[in-house]
Amino acid sequence: METFQVIINVVVMLALIGLLLWMQKKHVSFTKRVFTGLGLGLVFGVVLQAIYTSSSDVLTKSADWFNLVGRGYVGLLQMIVIPLIMVSIISAIMKLKGKQNLGKMSALIIGVLLITTAIAATVSIVTSLSFDLKAIQIEAGQKEQERGAKLEERVGDVANKTLPQQVLDFIPTNPFADMAGSRSTSTMAVVIFSAFIGVAVLGLDRKKPEQAETFRKIVDAVYAVVMRIVTLVLRITPYGILALITNVVATTNPEEILKLIKFVGASYVALIVMFIIHLILLAIFGYNPVQYVRKVLPTLVFAFTSRSSVATIPLNVETQTKRLGVPDGIANLSASFGSMIGQNGCAGIYPAMLAVMIAPTVGINPLSWDFILTLILVVTISSFGVAGVGGGATFASLIVLSTMNLPVALAGLLISVEPLIDMGRTALNVNDSITAGVITGKILGENDKEVFKQNVDLDVIQA
Q: Using the predicted structure, report yes or no on whether residue 389 has a pLDDT greater than 50.
A: no
pLDDT at 388: 45
User: CB within 8 A of 240, min separation 6: which ones?
Assistant: 37, 69, 70, 72, 73, 74, 302, 305, 306
**Cα 296 from Cα 317, distance rounded (Å):** 11
pLDDT at residue 138, as a whole number: 58
Average pLDDT over residues 72-100: 78
Question: Cβ(69)–Cβ(17) under 8 Å?
Answer: yes
- In which band, very low, low, confident or very high, does the pLDDT at 68 lie, cut at 50, 70 and 90? very high
Q: What is the CATH number of the domain that holds 319?
A: 1.10.3860.10
- 3-state class of 15 per DSSP? helix
Q: What pLDDT shows up at residue 119?
A: 96
Q: Cβ–Cβ contacts within 10 Å for residue 167, how many?
A: 13
First-to-last alpha carbon distance for the chain, in angstroms, is 45
CB atoms within 10 A of CB 210: 8
* Model pLDDT, residue 431: 96
> Does residue 344 contact residue 432 with C-beta atoms inside 8 Å?
yes
pLDDT at 289: 94
Q: What is the mean pLDDT of the chain?
A: 83
Helix (H, G, I), strand (E, B) or coil at 174: coil
Domain count, the chain: 1
Name the nearest CA neighbour of 312 among 274, 338, 350. Answer: 338
Q: Which pLDDT score, from 0 to 100, does residue 333 have?
A: 84
pLDDT higher than threshold 70 for residue 462 = no
Please, are residues 127 and 265 in contact by the beta-carbon 8 Å criterion?
no
CB 135 within 8 A of CB 459: no
> Which of 292, 183, 235, 226 lies closest to 89, judged by CA?
226
> What is the Cα–Cα distance from 366 to 324, expressed in whole angstroms?
40
Q: Which residues on neighbouring strands pair with residue 370, listed in sequence order?
A: none
pLDDT (0 to 100) of residue 4: 87
The residue-averaged pLDDT of 380-409 equals: 71
The pLDDT value given to residue 273: 97
**Alpha-carbon Rg of the chain, whole angstroms?**
22
Q: Is the pLDDT of residue 75 over 90?
A: no
The helix or strand, by DSSP H or E, that contains position 187, with its residue range, turns out to be helix 186-207
Per DSSP, what are the bridge partners of residue 341? 384
Asked whether 384 and 341 are in contact (CB, 8 A), the reply is yes
In this structure, are residues 278 and 11 in contact, taking their beta carbons and an 8 Å threshold? no
Q: Per-residue pLDDT tens for 1-56?
A: 788 888 899 999 999 999 999 998 988 887 788 889 989 998 998 899 888 877 78
pLDDT band at 340 (very low <50, low <70, confident <90, very high): confident
Q: How far is CA 142 from CA 116, 148, 152, 262, 406, in A?
A: 37, 10, 15, 21, 21
- State the residue range of the domain holding 335: 2-462
